[in-house]
Amino acid sequence: MDIGVLKKLTRSGFILLHITVLLIVNGQVKSAGTRWANAELEAADEASDLQIYKSVVQSMEEWKQRKNSSKRQKRAETNACYPEVGCFDTSGPYGYIGMVPNRPDEVNTRFLLYSSRRSRRDTPLLDVAFTNMTSIWHWAGKAFNVSAPTKVIVHGFGSSCSNVWVYEMRSALMDVVDCNVICVDWEAGAIIPNYVRAAANTRLVGKQVAMLIAGLASKANLPVENVHLIGFSLGAHAAGYAGAELKNLSRITGLDPAGPLFENQDPKTRLDSTDAKFVDVIHSNGENLILGGLGAWQPMGHVDYYPNGGRMQKGCSNLFVGAVTDIIWSAPEVYGRSLCNHRRAYKFFTDSVSPSCAFPAVPCESYEKFLEGECFPCKDKSKCGNMGYHSDKSPGRGKMYLLTRDEEPFCAHQYIVKIYNSPSALPVVSYGKIQIVLFGQLDINETFTITNKDDAALSVGETMKKIIVPHPALQGFNRVQITYTAYKGWLSNGLSKWSIDKFILTDSYGNSQSVCQRGLVMQSEVPVVLPLYPG
């Protein structure tokens, strides 16, 4: 079965469904996966992408103008004190933003509480405003399973807890583990168009989250070491503020922490590795704002993952070319899709909750060297990681690189393909492309192009290398089909045949399958099928 057919079978038009990925265990088909919405519902999340990006750009321009104006005259420091949450000022490391958070009643933070034992995933057991937070204590002691992990989700700019991605993440977590889930809804404080104001409000939201967790710990005996904060974009920095306030938080996961106003600032003003005992970060859009980047490239955790390089994601269009003034007035259907790269971070995390959807990652000097296969596979497992939900169970620290699939499921079951061209006494070069088809159990197969273009230069004696990411349903490889296609152009043509000596397929952990057939001649456009053997 071609993988394209499988994709059609595993994607349907129901409003909400449990998409399954086929897994073959001991020859039997089993299912696992994550709860996804259909394309129409996910599009609802993305309906405001154009407006969100415009707002960030325009808000940042206005902020820069105010900052330049304040340099010409001494700016008075502002201070605001709010009942219960305390005081905020613009002195010290917080001075660069130039404003304090809104009043709590303006931000109107709400806490939506769920328990995998007691609630439907689309209906919270409790929806409580921060101003009425004390009502949670009595209820939580009865409805929460205080011995179970507690996951706290914090959204970002132009978002809320009603977004589909929050439902998907919440459902995935509650499917896999018996847990409590809290969504922090600060929609009124993150409202479009004032991004700078929303950035300032993360300090207040972080303080409120810290007060909630501290209250649950003291009033309902919820162990702080069982609390995991998961923040997307601005929500990642709000989680960082909460962790800094609590000082003994177990874990924070930053999902593409917002870059504008936070990158390269004092660690006190952003997510930082000191905010929890373990801080893991997924960078999916760490590009310059003018090029469509809304995330931070700067490492901010104990381990920082850079899937597909961490700037632009496979399957997302790189549409930002030219000046922002040109981009702002371009077609919405083109311009708005920029947030695809930014949003990919929470999709990676949601997929990673399923134990069958791994995202192994390796340390490397650069993404370019990673792509060249210099750091792949993981040679020292004590230095490698697993991006996403299970990151805390892997030992790797520092910057990690990996490739993912370009569509759901994004699982990063990576392999490096090596094809050894036959040597020759003469410096023979041909032009063309090499494609392979991998076959697995149930005859599931998928096609990959190993060369970068149709007229790639192929040299005798060289080794062609490429990292590929098969669909997770494609397992138990048993054979490979290799096709050489000679290039036919106006100025140059490839040779009518090409020969190879060896084919090796190696996974992220160093497990290999191969076939050796010295001097195997491949006629152009004639596929050759070879069996694969362990080792």
Give the span between the Cα atoms of 363 and 23, in whole angstroms. Answer: 28
Tokens 């070879």 belong to: 530
DSSP bridge partners of 22: 31
For residues 259 and 297, the answer to whether their CB atoms sit within 8 Å is yes
DSSP bridge partners of 362: 401
For residues 461 and 429, the answer to whether their CB atoms sit within 8 Å is no
443 catalytic, yes or no?
A: no
DSSP bridge partners of 504: 418, 514
454 catalytic, yes or no?
A: no
Give the span between the Cα atoms of 110 and 120, in whole angstroms. Answer: 19
Bin 391: left if φ > 0, else alpha if -120 < ψ < 50, else beta.
alpha
Give the span between the Cα atoms of 438 and 507, in whole angstroms. Answer: 14
Give the span between the Cα atoms of 208 and 103, in whole angstroms. Answer: 12
233 catalytic, yes or no?
A: yes
Bin 525: left if φ > 0, else alpha if -120 < ψ < 50, else beta.
left
Set 45, 49, 185, 256: catalytic member: 256
DSSP bridge partners of 515: 503
Give the span between the Cα atoms of 255 and 284, in whole angstroms. Answer: 8
Tell me the residue length of the chain: 535
Report which of 339, 348, 350 is spatially closest to residue 47, judged by C-alpha positions. Answer: 339
DSSP bridge partners of 29: 24
Per-residue b/e over 256-285, b at no fewer than 16 CB within 10 Å?
bbbbbbbbebeeebbbbbebbebbbbbbbb
Set 342, 413, 499, 524: catalytic member: 342
Q: Sort 450 into a burial class: Cβ within 10 Å, 0-12 / 13-18 / 19+.
A: middle
Give the span between the Cα atoms of 234 and 275, in whole angstroms. Answer: 15
Set 59, 159, 171, 233: catalytic member: 233
For residues 312 and 27, the answer to whether their CB atoms sit within 8 Å is no
For residues 377 and 412, the answer to whether their CB atoms sit within 8 Å is no
Give the span between the Cα atoms of 443 and 464, in whole angstroms. Answer: 26
Tokens 């299912």 belong to: 31
- Which residue spans within 287-428 are E strands per DSSP? 303-307, 360-363, 385-386, 398-402, 415-421
The count of other CB atoms within 10 Å of the CB of residue 182 is 28
Report which of 190, 196, 188 is spatially closest to residue 66, judged by C-alpha positions. Answer: 196
Residues 6+ apart with CB under 8 A from 175: 34, 35, 353
Q: Sort 162 into a burial class: Cβ within 10 Å, 0-12 / 13-18 / 19+.
A: middle
- Which amino acid appears at position 349 of this protein? F
Residues assigned a catalytic role: 233, 256, 342
